[in-house]
Structure 1
């Protein structure tokens, strides 16, 4: 098997791991340098993820597979790791059947969110560590984003900067998190929800995995939020920590989306900023 999208080392590894594999479909997004290919090998489908020289996500994905995804994979709710090489930024998993929840009727079904809440609880409850520096790192990163090119209005940017600089930096509990918990990373197969894409997995406060949903689906349908909380079991969104996280997420969304020229996502970031400052 060969593909001009991959580096020579990545092609060599794939030829060794899955000799003669056939590329069935290219699932790459195109916004970043990660290549995602669906392959057929020995009668079974696999998914290959390959990062470029700037990639920082594949190492996180490998860690997630090795340390945190057991409660999901043992239930068939996340893909199984087959091969990985951190130096080559290459990972192979077994193909997980299903269709993406985003854009289908399942995106607006409460049962989808109840299942997603249950799955997230399984991830979060595995480990908890206290971190004295997480909030300080988050504060510094938010200020760094504000220093990057963006289209946030100058008066709004200054208001954000003042607020971020005033934040306390308390010790906070971290758990394994997905990092991009939303319907575009959920699959549904025979009405059962599963999970993909662990490139942002890391130890963070549990509430951070509520951020995408709160900025999107929960805004328009409170029934989905309640179903999600029913599945998860509790609500970890302590008000002050949640407000800080909302502002961090809003800034990062607006600036990153401008960087990659994803205008619709950038507009969402500006809306998130307005709502976070208002609320």
Structure 2
């Protein structure tokens, strides 16, 4: 049995103790004398995002604990589905990955986050975002007979967890989900969190980060967060996005349920991790989704 590292020992490590000991050792072998530049982690989950100077230049290291499933999704995305984005200069290239240790290394992308800047309200950015999403989605499409039932069951399981959703709202949400009759749908490779907080802008070019929610889903699900945030008050942004994407993948009956399931997951997850602002957004999304009926 090894001893836990003390504060002094952690401070002596190149990563300042931000990675697990095995993860730090693996990254050191990959990168040769890495030096920590900045900790870019959000701090809400245990995912670590480090900007690191290596012998070959700056890179991004992402790592998580053994129960963190986002790294496995991100590795899967980069190994099989980000190539069109990488080749178009819209995403980072995966350099190293160890799924067993839950750690990966990617190219560092220059740019600033679109969220919170003037670019968040520029139609040209949304046209680029639509074009980029089309590159991701169009790679593969498959019929899935069980996706809708699984997604609805997951939404109900979120409601079974601890949350602060108003009981009357919860009751109506459960009723709408129970009434829904799932049917087969086509699913494509999706990002899962397609919005300005995961877009970088560099010299006018949009770049996409964070594939930690990657999975095969209906294409429309990647529009949920934009629809309830940036597009609500600015329909021109929505139209620019759809022009870039080339079509509107939403269909009315399923779209209502997409929004409802997304709202439930947002409200409950945000409560569980203590993100009150995101939880408030989840409650607004819930009210908006139920108003669609």
- Please report the TM-score for the alignment, with normalisation by the length of structure 1: 0.98
Q: CA deviation at 1:139?
A: 1.0
SS at match of 2:100: coil
Q: Distance in 2 between matches of 1:106 and 1:261?
A: 28
**Which residue matches 1:139?**
152
Structure 2 segments unaligned to the other structure (5+ residues): 1-13
Once the two structures are superposed, residues 69-125 of structure 1 have per-residue CA deviations (whole angstroms, 9 ceiling, x without a partner) of 010101221001100000000000010111110011111100000000000001100
Q: Residues 122-173 of structure 1, C-alpha deviation per residue, up to 9 Å, x if partnerless?
A: 1100000000110010111011011111111111111111111111110000
Unaligned runs of 5+ in 1: none
Offset, 1:54 = 1.7
2:82 maps to which residue?
A: 69
**Residue equivalent to 1:127:** 140
- What stretches of structure 1 move > 3 A for 4+ residues in a row? none
Match of 1:209 in 2: 222
Residue 53 of structure 1: aligned partner: 66
In the alignment, which of 188, 191, 195 is matched to residue 182 of structure 1?
A: 195
Kept in 1, the 8 Å contact 2:141–2:187? The answer is: yes
Where 1:198 maps in the other structure, the secondary structure is coil
The alignment status of 1:225 with 2:235, answered yes or no, reads no
Contact conserved, 2:81 with 2:136, CA < 8 A, in 1?
A: yes
Compute the RMSD of aligned alpha carbons.
0.8
Identify the match of residue 117 of structure 2 among 81, 104, 120: 104
Q: Does 1:241 align with 2:254?
A: yes
Aligned twin of 1:87: 100
The CA distance in 2 between the partners of 1:206 and 1:252, in whole Å, is: 18
Q: Supply the distance in 2 between the matched residues of 1:11 and 1:40 (Cα, whole angstroms).
A: 14
Partner of 1:126, secondary structure, is coil
How far residue 3 of structure 1 moved from its aligned partner, in angstroms, is 3.2
- In the alignment, the residues of structure 2 paired with residue 20 and residue 196 of structure 1 have an alpha-carbon distance, to the nearest angstrom, of 25
Checking the alignment, whether the CA contact within 8 Å between 1:84 and 1:92 is kept in structure 2 is yes
* Larger displacement relative to structure 2 (151-160 or 208-217): 151-160
Matching residue of 2:5? none
Preserved contact between residue 39 and residue 46 of structure 1 (Cα < 8 Å): yes
Hey, what's the Cα distance between the residues in 2 that align with 1:238 and 1:154?
29
80-89 vs 152-161, greater mean Cα deviation: 152-161
The answer to whether the 8 A contact 2:32-2:55 is kept is no
* Equivalent residue number for residue 7 of structure 2: none
Report how many residues are paired.
Answer: 279
**Residues 156-195 of structure 1 correspond to what in structure 2 (within 5 A)?**
156-195=169-208
Deviation at 1:43, TM superposition (A): 5.0
TM-score normalised to structure 2 length: 0.94
1:27 and 1:7 map into 2 onto residues whose CA distance is 16
2:41 match: secondary structure: coil
